[in-house]
Amino acid sequence: MRHEKRGNLKMATPHNAANMGDIAETVLLPGDPLRAKVIAETYLEDITQFNSVRNMFGYTGTYKGKKVSVMGTGMGCASIGIYSHELIHFYGVKNLIRVGSCGSIAKDIKLGEIIMAQGACTDSNYAHQYQLPGTMCAIADYELLKTAQETAAEFGYPYRVGNILSSDIFYTETPEWQQWAKMGVLSIEMESFALYCNVARAGVKALGIFTVSDSIVNGEELDAEARQNGFTNMMQVALETAVRI
Ligand SMILES: O=P(O)(O)O[C@H]1O[C@H](CO)[C@@H](O)[C@H]1O
Ligand SMILES: O=c1cc[nH]c(=O)[nH]1
């Protein structure tokens, strides 16, 4: 663990080779660094790559004329905790939009639907560092959420807004998800709680948007083509949100 003060003017961090100014104020954050590459190459113009440390690829380009970056975060609260902290505190990033996959735990959610995480529950102890005298309620930025919701509605894409679970556990022998489902939680992913905590502590903005890639309720999974289309809808919503805010 380390305190964040940086003792010199060299802008690269242990995990990010970018210099100040290389990264846009708005960054899209998929867990998978190769998805960051695909997003940059598919949707952005005039791209430059600012990071390949640990193969955690990061790119900056433009979308509809606005400077936007995209960078992988890795999996789990610990990993996104590091990358988002550096983006916020060392590179001045103000809007962090996670674009991920998730598993639904609500019976009526269909594969390929978009879920926007109004709140993120967790089984992680990430918030322990803040020494809070209670339980952190980790929430999305309202303006980002409102803009994304309006965009999805305008485009006619199926979407849901609600609570999700950011879990430290991908493989489990016990069906804890059923307890979360009883609390109205829509789906499970692994990073948004830490992201929402980091932005709350820093006074900047975040939103998690997800494509439902599989159902934990009935074991269904998107096939490759449907997965691609679903991710396309999510990316259009995220990029349009980046332009409109
Ligand atoms: O598709 P990404 O963004 O990686 O998100 C989900 O997929 C990974 C697990 O397969 C976890 O990172 C989870 O949050
Ligand atoms: O974290 C995740 C992501 C997709 N599907 C899951 O079941 N969990």
Helices 33-43 and 224-244, axial angle in degrees (round to 10): 70
Tens digits of residue pLDDT in 178-207? 999 999 999 999 999 999 999 999 999 999
Q: Tokens standing for 185?
A: 């939680």
Q: Which residues line ligand 1 (CB under 6 A)?
A: 30-32, 75, 100-101, 170, 189-191
Cα–Cα distance list, 144 to 116, 206, 211 (Å):
10, 7, 17
Report whether 44 contacts 63 (CB < 8 A): yes
- Ligand 1 atom closest to residue 100's alpha carbon, by position in its atom list: 3
Task: Give the pLDDT of residue 218.
Answer: 94
Q: Tokens standing for 54?
A: 């640990």
**Which residue matches tokens 């932005």?**
199
Give the mutation target among 209, 214, 220 for probing the ligand 2 site: most ligand atoms within 8 A of CB: 214
Mean residue pLDDT of the chain comes to 95
- By C-alpha distance, which of 161, 160, 157 is closest to 229? 157
From 3.40.309.10, 3.40.50.2300, 3.40.1180.10, 3.40.50.1580, which CATH number describes the 26-244 domain?
A: 3.40.50.1580
Helices 77-91 and 192-202, axial angle in degrees (round to 10): 30
Question: Which residues share a beta bridge with 67?
Answer: 62
CA 237, CA 147: separation in Å to the nearest integer? Answer: 9
Q: Closest-lying ligand to the alpha carbon of 208?
A: 1
ipTM, interface predicted TM-score of the complex:
0.97
Catalytic (active-site) positions: 214
pLDDT category of residue 11 using cuts at 50, 70 and 90:
confident
- Ligand 1 atom closest to residue 29's alpha carbon, by position in its atom list: 3
Ligand 2 contacts CB of residue 213 (under 6 A): yes
Task: Give the pLDDT of residue 9.
Answer: 47
Answer yes or no: is 4 a known binding residue.
no
Task: Give the pLDDT of residue 223.
Answer: 85
Q: pTM for the whole thing? A: 0.96
Tens digits of residue pLDDT in 153-178? 999 999 999 999 999 999 999 999 99
- By C-alpha distance, which of 176, 207, 36 is closest to 114? 207
pLDDT at position 209 over 70: yes
Ligand 1, atom 7, lies closest to the CA of 101
- Compute the distance from residue 83 Cα to the ligand 2 centre, in Å: 20
- By C-alpha distance, which of 95, 110, 122 is closest to 160? 110
pLDDT at position 3 over 70: no
Mean per-residue pLDDT, 64-87 = 98
Q: Which amino acid is at 54?
A: R
Ligand 2 contacts CB of residue 100 (under 6 A): no
CA 31, CA 101: separation in Å to the nearest integer? Answer: 9
- By C-alpha distance, which of 84, 69, 101, 66 is closest to 210? 101
For the chain, give every domain's residue range: 26-244
Q: Tokens standing for 220?
A: 């269904």
Task: Give the pLDDT of residue 217.
Answer: 96
